[in-house]
Chain A
């Protein structure tokens, strides 16, 4: 009896939720983005006075989470703020523009898909840029979260798509970070290791991509240390080969006095602003998404599911593994280079076991074998760890507990094995 009522209430609840969602099922991505864009503009215009009126003092940085935990009295105000600034405007505009948005989406798709995708991206970029411009802390969190997406996705290629358990990401990050930093610091910064700047800072626009590419290429070459043994072994043994690689890279850089040893490298030029990070990360996600959806991606899955069978089916497993490792390491290296230039400091101790645990957590939290999953994992983990900051020590009890719950109820992560189909995302919803 009790069970029965219980199920009926939950059923009603989901029913009600679905009902509330009903008017929004046909809203296209374009309309959502326009709504979000309008919301951030609204925040820009009236956010400050509204926050003041509500007694918040200033605009809540991360949707009021930080504030709520610090002074629980402000919870109603923060909720009202989020409702008024984000939820209502987005919902209203998305609903109002549903039919226009769908028509526009359909019309855009008559041109090559890239056009429509680019317009969506520009809207997304504009939204985030304006949202981040309210406060530099927000901006920093945004940049680091974007980099985390790139790094998480690059590890997902190996651990999710290829089914290995690689622990080498901190090593790749370190190689990329140092590779890019050596170029930028030695030529464009006044620092006590390499002396005064040789070239003017304004060259950064051209040199920074090259520096990042160099970091990525160094990481890709470094990945051969892990990739070549992976021809003959996999799973557990590969896990410790990759772990040994991380130890080796860290120890190697600590002994490399040219780049500062354990003191690290600092005073990287300030090149990694949000625009740059956004461009690189979207580029990375786009290329990696194409990679995993190509025949190469299918080959990765084949290697994961049954290597012997894959070999029999003419999949060149050696080539597949090598390409996958180098590709993954390349993007991790780019992520490392961006990371170094966002922090404007890099030292070997950053790329240790702590970083490894963090990246692994993001990959498995988000979901294996899924670009969506990596985005959700990186964003969720980063927002969570910022939002729970006021809890101090207890933060690192609550986050692991949440992750364990996710693992128990969704063992492959929140959104696993789902294709990231750009066309389906930007298509009209009717």
Chain B
């Protein structure tokens, strides 16, 4: 490359630069929303559900020609970051979203192990963040800028314990959970406590655990079967549910198996098959027999991506709509990002009885929603049927 060629190249670059900057400057005003999701790593399915729900939500906004805030249409841009299912990466992603991309608000991360440290970042930078799926109390505790869309373990565990006692009249329960993952562990402990409150100490006759990614549960299940338990509570994710239920039946377990909201995925039945028919679980919504907005969401998602959405997708959808509501309640976008964030946060905190597809939501002073749970039965056709509702 000769000197003249180099100069020519630089000149060309400068021209291109000026041209692009001219284009970039006259764009419409946009609202940026960050999505922090685990697209790779342990739970890619969760990341996929988040991404799909967010894209569907964006399509809706775009169809309306933008987000209507105080009579003005704003273009919405999603900035999706992969947190690789790692705590440090989630922190980096949040910092990048807030300080570099200057998003108005963040939806995600999903798992508590990323949401707790990422929530710290959001709170420090005074940026509203909604974690759709995290159930660890620390995610929102003393963090006025952090909200969540899921109900917490202490509520759900009690609901499950009460439901089993009322429905079957059992007094001896067994629990099988993942000791290395905080959602199942938290729920298992709350369930144990509330069960023993109902039936006295020692009424949880087997309290067995395994470690994330295990696939063989025969030792624990053998112990559970020999303990004389009448019901098995499995607060696990759907992939483990399928294995646990099948292995339990192979080892001769006859009683009912009860689960939690993490069962609420189309994959549960797909992976588990007829072994799961007749089981109950507590969750946010029942896909079969859903009505109104919930049904519409499920059908559209199903048509677009080819499967019934998980609870993650539904909660992400709700979180984004909560955010939309808050932005609209805010009334105007000033362009001063700090002011707008403050305004959105206040609006979020003041939302009352938001009609989400996973139930009506009102945030308490910690940013946790108070909402009802439903008990769902897996029918003999493998559909999630509404069975009962339980409110706090």
C-alpha spacing A264/B112, complex, angstroms: 10
Q: Do A396 and B180 form a contact, CB below 8 Å, given A53-B21, A343-B117, A345-B116?
A: no
Instruction: Decide if A76 touches B17 in the complex (CB within 8 Å).
Output: yes
Residue of B nearest to A393 (CB): B40
Quote the shortest CB–CB distance from A227 to chain B (angstroms).
26
Residue of B nearest to A391 (CB): B82
Instruction: Decide if A264 touches B82 in the complex (CB within 8 Å).
Output: no
B182 contacts A by Cβ under 8 Å: yes
A386 contacts B by Cβ under 8 Å: yes
Instruction: Decide if A344 touches B112 in the complex (CB within 8 Å).
Output: no
A residues near B21, Cβ cutoff 8 Å:
53-55, 77
Q: Which of B279-333 contact A (CB under 8 A)?
A: none
Instruction: Decide if B180 touches A262 in the complex (CB within 8 Å).
Output: yes
Instruction: Decide if A263 touches B136 in the complex (CB within 8 Å).
Output: yes
Instruction: Decide if B100 touches A61 in the complex (CB within 8 Å).
Output: yes
**Interface size bracket, B side:** 35 or more
A58 contacts B by Cβ under 8 Å: yes
Instruction: Decide if A349 touches B113 in the complex (CB within 8 Å).
Output: yes
Instruction: Decide if A343 touches B91 in the complex (CB within 8 Å).
Output: yes
C-alpha spacing A263/B125, complex, angstroms: 24
B residues near A261, Cβ cutoff 8 Å:
179, 182, 185
Instruction: Decide if A354 touches B41 in the complex (CB within 8 Å).
Output: yes
- Against B, the Cβ 8 Å flags (1 = close, 0 = not) of A42-81 are 0000000000011101100100001000000110110110
The contact of B14 among A80, A135, A263, by CB within 8 Å, is A80
Instruction: Decide if B25 touches A55 in the complex (CB within 8 Å).
Output: yes
Instruction: Decide if A263 touches B112 in the complex (CB within 8 Å).
Output: yes
B239 contacts A by Cβ under 8 Å: no
A141 contacts B by Cβ under 8 Å: yes
Instruction: Decide if A79 touches B13 in the complex (CB within 8 Å).
Output: yes
The contact of B88 among A58, A135, A251, A343, by CB within 8 Å, is A343
Q: Which of B1-55 contact A (CB under 8 A)?
A: 10, 12-14, 16-18, 20-25, 39-41
C-alpha spacing A80/B179, complex, angstroms: 53
Q: Do A349 and B112 form a contact, CB below 8 Å, given A55-B17, A263-B186, A392-B40?
A: no
B residues near A77, Cβ cutoff 8 Å:
13, 16-17, 20-21
Instruction: Decide if A54 touches B17 in the complex (CB within 8 Å).
Output: yes
Instruction: Decide if B100 touches A137 in the complex (CB within 8 Å).
Output: yes
Q: Do A262 and B179 form a contact, CB below 8 Å, given A74-B20, A345-B120?
A: yes
B353 contacts A by Cβ under 8 Å: no
Q: Do A57 and B92 form a contact, CB below 8 Å, given A137-B99, A137-B100, A266-B138?
A: no
The contact of A80 among B17, B80, B120, by CB within 8 Å, is B17
A residues near B138, Cβ cutoff 8 Å:
192, 263, 266-267
Instruction: Decide if B100 touches A350 in the complex (CB within 8 Å).
Output: no
Quote the shortest CB–CB distance from B120 to chain A (angstroms).
5
Q: Do A349 and B13 form a contact, CB below 8 Å, given A144-B88, A389-B82?
A: no
Quote the shortest CB–CB distance from A170 to chain B (angstroms).
12
B81 contacts A by Cβ under 8 Å: yes
A255 contacts B by Cβ under 8 Å: yes
Quote the shortest CB–CB distance from B44 to chain A (angstroms).
8
B residues near A262, Cβ cutoff 8 Å:
179-182, 185
Q: Which of A310-359 contact B (CB under 8 A)?
A: 339, 343-345, 347-350, 354
Q: Considering residues A66, A74, A76, which has the most beta carbons from chain B within 10 angstroms of its beta carbon?
A: A76
Apart from the given pairs A55-B25, A267-B120, A396-B84, 18 other A-B contacts in the complex at a CB distance below 8 Å: A55-B17, A77-B17, A80-B10, A135-B99, A192-B138, A254-B180, A263-B185, A264-B182, A345-B87, A345-B117, A350-B86, A350-B87, A389-B81, A389-B82, A389-B93, A392-B80, A395-B40, A396-B40
B contacts, CB < 8 Å to A = 10, 12-14, 16-18, 20-25, 39-41, 80-82, 84, 86-88, 91-93, 95-96, 98-100, 102, 112-113, 116-117, 120, 125, 136-138, 141-142, 179-182, 185-186, 211-212
